[in-house]
Amino acid sequence: MNIHIAPLPQDFLSRVRERGLDDQMQPVRRYVSTEGGEPCRDVLRRARPGEAVILASYCPFTQAGPYKEFGPVFVLAQASDEPVQRQVLPIPTGDTET
């Protein structure tokens, strides 16, 4: 099976990190993960304990319609240059490193 997990748009990531505004133009929530485990959508892994994260509203749709909805996403508060595998689904292991 061929899959490709599309990355979040760079303009969204820049806006939430630099301006602190999400896709609804409301303030994002920034905090440090105490236990880890938040599913970070930008790096496709769970947050690690002590890692700074952002919770923001995101909408992948660009045209109006009945399916245009906003949903919560977690992203790292700082951009990361770690490699991200977008051709496979992460396999949950039960720990916060996945």
| Percent of residues, the chain, with pLDDT higher than 70 | 90
What parts of the chain have a pLDDT lower than 50? 98
Domain that holds residue 6: 1-98
CB contact at 8 A, 28 and 13? no
Q: How many domains does the chain have?
A: 1
Closest C-alpha to 58, from 21, 6, 87, 85: 21
Per-residue confidence (pLDDT) for residue 5, from 0 to 100: 85
Burial 57-94 (b: 16+ CB within 10 A, else e): bbeeeeeeeeeeeeeebbbbbeeeeeeeeeeeeeeeee
**Model pLDDT for residues 65-89, shown as the tens digit of each residue:** 998 999 999 999 999 999 988 887 7
Q: Would you call 61 helix, strand, or coil by DSSP?
A: coil
